[in-house]
Amino acid sequence: MTTHGIDPAALAAALRDFRSAVGAANVFDGEEDRLAYSDHYSPDETRHMPGAAVAPSSVEEVQAIVRIANRHKVPLWPISRGKNFGYGGAAPVLKGSVVLDLSRMKRIEVDRENGTVLVEPGVGFFDLYDHLQKNGIPLWLSVPGNSWGSVAGNALDRGVGYTSYGDHAARICGLEVVLPEGGLVRTGMGAMQGSSTWQLYRNGYGPGWDTMFCQSNFGIVTKLGLWLMPEPETVLGLDFEFDKPDDLGWAIDTIMPLRREGVIQQSPSMGNWLRSAAVMTTREQWTKDKGPLDEKVVTAIRKQFNIGWWSVQVRFFGPAEITEASMKVLRRAFDKKPVLAIKEARWKRGDPPEGSPSSGVPVSFPLANANWHGGRGGHTGYSPVLPPRGDLAMDQFRRTYDLYAKFGMDYHASFAMGDRSLTNVNQILFDRDDPEMMRRVDGFFRALVADAKAKGYGEYRTHIEYMDLVAQTYDYGGHALLRLNERVKDALDPNGIVAPGKSGIWPARYREKKA
């Protein structure tokens, strides 16, 4: 939101120093460079256009850049690989910030026996997958639907996947972090020189810092420890299709007890027909009408691709005896329930890989949903968190469905069933070449956030354009937690260098200008 100019003389001086620190070839300040690091999915990419970018290759270079940035008071926007599409891509909240591109830092250290990895931010899911395959290491990833991003960046932004390791932030074990003034810390057991357990024990001694660097601007993570799943003996599961919108409620109430009891250990994600369809077809193949989709169109698309109004996959990982027993419990829970179709998925060690995110294989085809409307497509994520109750999910579905209709958008949503919560992941699909549609997106998003807030639901993650908006909904005690974050921010980053505005946290010098 805030668009205070960065002092051009300071930026020029900083760029000169960046060039001596990391080489001219790794500093990018041409018009095309800035475009390359902008938000390709946003309605107006000029709002968050970076001033330049710099790409270090080592921790020492990151420290050097941070010290230079402090000297010239030039803000940095760290990215891992910049593929956080739907949430801002590579672009900074504060226009004119220098993107600190960590994608050249690609070191991978696997502890095969203990099932852990230490990755630098430039390591993508495909990189890590290839590394494990090439070296015959029997460890599995958990990957998000669009897997072209950074393993570390995704975990730090609290991305999710589909295996029992799908809560990526919860599997972080130990970080290396460059602090906003250039110092270096290691968290957890890494705080001990010569530690044998940095990636093995998460708590360390004293306050636990790992989660403080998630969705935060308190430091720049340069190494991240992550637990990986030992290759299971089997993966068994069921794919459910449901016929009616109203099936959402009872299906959630059927699955959630198994989730709470630990029978199901991954987070099944119940998505509507458009989640499945938008990656396989485009809207104009079915209708020229710009208005709300006719129910006949929906039925035709569903019939063509043989998909339910809702669908959900459940998976079990482990020794055959246990996964088979778990399948019995799952089938019993759905016994005599009005399911449209059930398909069994069976994989055992030695079979060719299932090749899907359910088994931790990275894919990027879900990005095809950006083509739904034609033109230069894009999407924005809206993801409020609800209590895990079918009636509340139904109510959420109906209210937001009506809002989609009111703003002339196509409903694209899922409900991911966590241990104790539902995350209602919406992907608002749009055509950036349709100015009339793009004018609607902002009002629609704001209406959704206000609607959730009225129910006591907060978003778990949001686009850079809306970080302040969402932060404002976290208003207990006059935004007490935001003020606590600001206090820590000011203590650690007196010059306001690292990612000003991330998650609504602004350093003092920008807060003063805003006020």
The nearer residue to a copy of itself, 44 or 321, going by C-beta atoms, is 321
By CB under 8 A, the residues from 428 to 467 that bind a copy of itself are: 453, 455-462
CA 40 from centroid of its chain's CA atoms: 16
Kindly give the residue spans of alpha helices, DSSP state H, lying in 112-197: 125-134, 151-156
Catalytic residue from among 87, 129, 162, 466: 87
Asked if 146 contacts 167 with a C-beta cutoff of 8 angstroms, the reply is: no
Please provide residue 219's backbone torsions phi and psi, each rounded to the nearest 5 degrees: 180, 175
Of the candidate spans 50-58, 273-281, 398-406, 417-425, the one that interacts with a copy of itself by CB under 8 A turns out to be: 417-425
Asked if 421 interacts with a copy of itself (CB under 8 A), we say yes
By CB under 8 A, the residues from 296 to 335 that bind a copy of itself are: 317-319, 321-322, 324-326, 328-329
Written as six digits, the tokens of 211 are 């989660």
461 tagged catalytic: yes
How many residues line the site for a copy of itself (CB under 8 A)?
101
By CB under 8 A, the residues from 181 to 210 that bind a copy of itself are: 183-187, 189-197, 199-201, 203-210
Rounded to the nearest 10 degrees, how much is the dihedral formed by the CA atoms of 70, 71, 73, 74? -80
Catalytic residue from among 129, 283, 461, 466: 461
By CB under 8 A, the residues from 357 to 396 that bind a copy of itself are: 385-389
440 tagged catalytic: no
Q: How many CB atoms lie within 10 A of CB 8?
A: 10
Asked if 30 interacts with a copy of itself (CB under 8 A), we say no
**CA–CA distance, 187 with 259 (Å, rounded to integer):** 31
Please provide residue 221's backbone torsions phi and psi, each rounded to the nearest 5 degrees: -75, 125
Asked if 211 interacts with a copy of itself (CB under 8 A), we say yes
Asked if 505 interacts with a copy of itself (CB under 8 A), we say yes
**CA–CA distance, 67 with 216 (Å, rounded to integer):** 19
**CA–CA distance, 198 with 201 (Å, rounded to integer):** 6
460 tagged catalytic: yes
Q: How many CB atoms lie within 10 A of CB 130?
A: 13
The nearer residue to a copy of itself, 53 or 505, going by C-beta atoms, is 505
| Least Cβ distance, residue 85 to a copy of itself (angstroms) | 20
By CB under 8 A, the residues from 157 to 176 that bind a copy of itself are: 158, 164, 169, 173
5 three-class SS = coil
| Least Cβ distance, residue 328 to a copy of itself (angstroms) | 5
| Least Cβ distance, residue 130 to a copy of itself (angstroms) | 23
435 three-class SS = helix
**CA–CA distance, 164 with 317 (Å, rounded to integer):** 8
By CB under 8 A, the residues from 463 to 502 that bind a copy of itself are: 470-471, 473-477, 480-485, 487-488, 490-492, 502
**CA–CA distance, 119 with 282 (Å, rounded to integer):** 37
Asked if 234 interacts with a copy of itself (CB under 8 A), we say no
Asked if 267 interacts with a copy of itself (CB under 8 A), we say no
Asked if 503 interacts with a copy of itself (CB under 8 A), we say yes
| Least Cβ distance, residue 454 to a copy of itself (angstroms) | 9
Q: Residues 6 or more apart from 347 whose CB is under 8 A from it? A: 234, 235, 236, 353, 354, 359
* Active site members: 87, 460-461
